[in-house]
Amino acid sequence: MARLTLWRWGALGLAGVYFLVPLAASVVFTVDVPGQGITFDAYTQLLSADGFGSSLLLSLELAAATIAVVLLLTVPATVALRLGAARLRPVVEVVCSLPLVVPPIAFVAGIVTVLKWGPDHLSRTPLFQTFVAIQNPDFPVVLVLAYVVLALPFVYRALDAGLAAVDVRTLVEAARSCGASWPQALIRAVLPNLRGALLNASFLTLALVLGEFTIARLLGFQPFAVWIYSVSGANAQLSVAVSVLSLLVTWLLLLALAGVGGRSRTTASRG
């Protein structure tokens, strides 16, 4: 047992060195200027750069919308698979796994083709305004739709693992026997037992949206990842500072989400 514990601490230490040493070196590079000593000018310039706040806010809005949409789609579907649609499980698994097979560049090429086809063929129909609205730079709904597709494999696996540890049928039958409707049974009986799975799915989706670059760049929008690329080419120190700051922002958001989930679990256990 002691030997196993030693191996675990050794593996954890190696992982920490692998991840923290490059990060520490990057931080030192951004604050240690030859001839000036320690200075945080790179970070002050970055935080005051034009577009920082707006691009970060846009990414957070896109992440929130993506999390809401993908959970609304996958939670009822995965619960239905557990309750009585087991024959459709292979079909759902294949559909949710397709984004892992299709290259992002091919995916975005298909989106561009559809967006170009729409105005040409639907210019005299009410759908024309829909094509215009989903490409609004202030909040590009087309990015939300694309991110929902990209997040499906991760969200489905997280929810499926959570449902595997819960007796969904018994929970739903108990709620129904107490007079609850199907939506009430899902919200009040099933979802509280999936809090960990929902939190993991939200983690993965948030990280995906904040770090996604290819689709947003090729469609001409500027969320946080694209903004980082646009400001990081002129100055090497500023470029590294952008990378460090993006990691810090992502970690803080994930920690905040984890804190919210932890408080919810504590409140539920006390209740």
Q: 84 pLDDT exceeds 80?
A: no
Domain membership of residue 23 (yes or no) is no
Q: What is the pLDDT of residue 2?
A: 62
- pLDDT, one tens digit per residue, over 165-206 is 888 888 888 888 888 887 888 888 888 888 888 888 988 898
Domain membership of residue 202 (yes or no) is yes
Q: Assign residue 178 the CATH number of its domain.
A: 1.10.3720.10
Domain membership of residue 187 (yes or no) is yes
Q: 16 pLDDT exceeds 70?
A: yes
Distance CA 75, CA 197 (A): 10
Domain membership of residue 25 (yes or no) is no
Q: 266 pLDDT exceeds 60?
A: no
Show Cβ contacts of residue 7 under 8 Å, excluding neighbours closer than 6 positions. Answer: none
Closest by Cα among 121, 115, 108 to 136? 115
Q: What is the pLDDT of residue 143?
A: 94
Domain membership of residue 94 (yes or no) is yes
Q: State the residue range of the domain holding 97.
A: 59-222
Q: What is the pLDDT of residue 12?
A: 83
Domain membership of residue 102 (yes or no) is yes
In this structure, what token pair is assigned to residue 230?
């646009």
Domain membership of residue 138 (yes or no) is yes
Collapsing DSSP states into helix, strand and coil, what is residue 140? coil
Q: 113 pLDDT exceeds 70?
A: yes
Per-residue pLDDT averaged across 219-243, rounded?
A: 79
Q: What is the pLDDT of residue 150?
A: 94
Q: How many CA atoms lie within 13 A of 84 on its CB side?
A: 3
Domain membership of residue 50 (yes or no) is no
User: For the chain, how many structural domains are there in total?
Assistant: 1
Res. 221 pLDDT band, cuts 50 70 90? very high
Show Cβ contacts of residue 218 under 8 Å, excluding neighbours closer than 6 positions. Answer: 105, 108, 112
Average per-residue pLDDT in the chain? 82
